[in-house]
Structure 1
Amino acid sequence: MSKNYSICVGATGFGGGVWHSPDGGENWTRIRDPFPLGSQVRAMAVYPDDPSRILAGADNGIYRSEDKGASWGKLWSPMDGVPIWSIAIDPEDTETIFVGIKPAALFRSRDDGQSWTKLSVQMAQECHIGPPMVTMLMVDPKDHRTVWAGVEVDGVYRSLDGGDTWTHVEGGVHPDIHGMAISPGEPNRVIASTPREIYATTDMGESWESVVTTDQFVLPYSRGIAVKPGDPNVIFSGVGDTAIGGAGAIQRSRDAGQTWETRPLPVEPNSNIWQFATHPADPDFVLASSLMGELYSTSDAGDSWVKVKREFTEVGAVVWVPN
């Protein structure tokens, strides 16, 4: 693994909080101040215009680093004491930040986190797993007024006016949204990962097609999903045997989801591959995390993978930035 990256891992459980590596995973520091002991960090986002700046969302508020994760400060917000599950930063106006919480609701700041407004979108507050949570937020890089929210379990929401108003995308996609990604093109292709199937839409969510049913994968339970920066045909899918389970794998498609291959990992993951981290500074460098604390990396866009020596408790979020 190259040492020219800084990595931040958001963890939950006893070893929760933020862990920071300034050298590509060789050495790690647990950030204690200002995170309370046992902080549950499930969301992170890198500023599109400045990789030194990173946001982290926990069950006790939202935090920001100005030095690639080496130190952090807490922002005032109305989300204190509420579990944050997702963060998105507007790529065109990076003072605009969106935050998704559990129970499912959305907040927006238009002044870089100095003040916040709860958005007027009515999401489900109960489902068969308890309170739903906003598992994914995305701002369209080509049209920053288009914002997407994925809810587990309440489906997909879409805003066409920068978050002022929202539409619940009805039908065509399973409502248990685990992950989402945007594959840039003409038009854009929005991809949604659900427990047993991956869906895509090219008409802003008006209709969806099945990209793949995961019984075609080596393991059936789909979770994390990511598109390689700069190459919309390359898609990574993280899978496992069950939601928690004891096995995981990485699937890769190089033809926009028409065919998939299982990429060999150096050791068998101990649980579902929960998420991926990419950055346009190096499209070939990708991080993948298992739910139960393992971290894998590739420097060749998924051809080969190595396991980072350090293991964590449950991993809720992971990002990397160039040094």
Structure 2
Amino acid sequence: PGGGYELFVTTDNGISWNSLDIPNQIISLAADPLDPNRVYAGTKSGLYVSNDQGKQWDPVISDIERGVITGIGFSSDGKTMYAFSTLDGNGMIVKSKDGGNTMVKTQGQIIDARGIWNFAPGRDGEIYAIAAQQVASGIAMSVYSTHDEGNSWVLEGTNNSELALTNES
């Protein structure tokens, strides 16, 4: 995923589309499940928020404001936002319980993660992450889950046999 330079919105079930001004190249996009007007955009220059369905964007001022944001998602109750931020090649999973104003690095991290392309809630409160990881043979795509708000991450599946073997318990 390289990101997009345009964002379109429809208000008539897809009959017509309007282009929106965006703050930077968008890599990840997530709608706030608790506020239908609020949208978050992960860009090459940080995290942005719109409170009017994408018409105007403001930077979220936090510890990750300068990093590249490759993934954004929410817990099943919508109260916790997860994001992946990378700055100078160092990536980390962060979470926020206040709309991104305070971002906290999760205690657990996915080893050698170069990007997380999506976070998705599970039925029982778990969070799933689709991660790109650096391995000896290149980049592996993997699915991880956490059942404790990011304190630990468990490999659920990968396209790399070496990674699968090293993560077996």
TM-score by length of 2: 0.76
1:153 is paired with a residue whose SS is: coil
Paired letter, 1:236: Y
Q: Distance in 2 between matches of 1:275 and 1:269?
A: 16
- The CA deviation string for residues 62-101 of structure 1, in whole angstroms up to 9 with x for no partner, is xxxxxxxxxxxxxxxxxxxxxxx8xxxxxxxxxxxxxxxx
**Cα drift, residue 253 of structure 1:** 0.4
Q: Which residue pairs with 2:60 in the alignment?
A: 211
Distance in 2 (CA, whole Å) between partners of 1:312 and 1:239 is 23
CA shift in 2, pair 1:206/1:300, >3 Å? same
Cα offset, 1:190, TM superposition = 1.1
User: What is the distance in 1 between the residues matched to 2:11 and 2:130?
Assistant: 32
Aligned length in residues: 153
Partner of 1:248: 91
Which residue is 2:128 aligned to?
Answer: 287
Query: Contact between 1:241 and 1:272, CA under 8 Å: does it hold in 2?
Result: no
Hey, what's the Cα distance between the residues in 2 that align with 1:209 and 1:218? 11
Residue 264 (structure 1) shift: 2.3
Amino acid paired to 1:286: I
Q: Tell me the equivalent position of 1:296.
A: 144
Distance in 1 of aligned mates of 2:157 and 2:66? 25
Q: Deviations over 1:245-293 (max 9, x none)?
A: 5x432010011111010012265334222321224x22x2011232132
Fraction of identical pairs, as percent? 24
RMSD: 2.7
Shift of 1:181: 1.1
Alignment of 1:104-253 (within 5 A): 152-171=3-22, 173-174=23-24, 176-186=25-35, 188-212=37-61, 216-217=63-64, 220-231=67-78, 233-241=79-87, 247-253=90-96
Query: Among residues 147, 155, 169, which one is paired with 1:308 in the alignment?
Result: 155
The alpha-carbon deviation at position 229 of structure 1 amounts to 2.3
Alpha carbons of structure 1 residues 311 and 186: separation in structure 2 relative to 1, 3 Å: closer
Deviations 1:135-161 (A, max 9, x none): xxxxxxxxxxxxxxxxx3323110011
Superposed displacement of residue 241, structure 1: 4.2
Give the greater-gyration-radius structure (CA): 1
Residues 1:261 and 2:90 aligned together: no
Change beyond 3 A, Cα 1:218–1:198: closer
Q: Distance in 2 between matches of 1:272 and 1:219?
A: 16
List 4+ stretches of structure 1 deviating above 6 A: none
Structure 2: gaps (5+ residues): 134-140, 161-169
Which string of whole-angstrom CA distances, capped at 9 and with x for unpartnered residues, describes residues 31-74 of structure 1?
xxxxxxxxxxxxxxxxxxxxxxxxxxxxxxxxxxxxxxxxxxxx
- Matched-pair contact (CA < 8 Å) for 1:200–1:208: yes
Q: Which runs of 5 or more structure 1 residues have no equivalent in the other structure? A: 1-84, 86-132, 134-151, 314-323
* Partner Cα separation in structure 2 for residue 309 and residue 266 of structure 1: 15
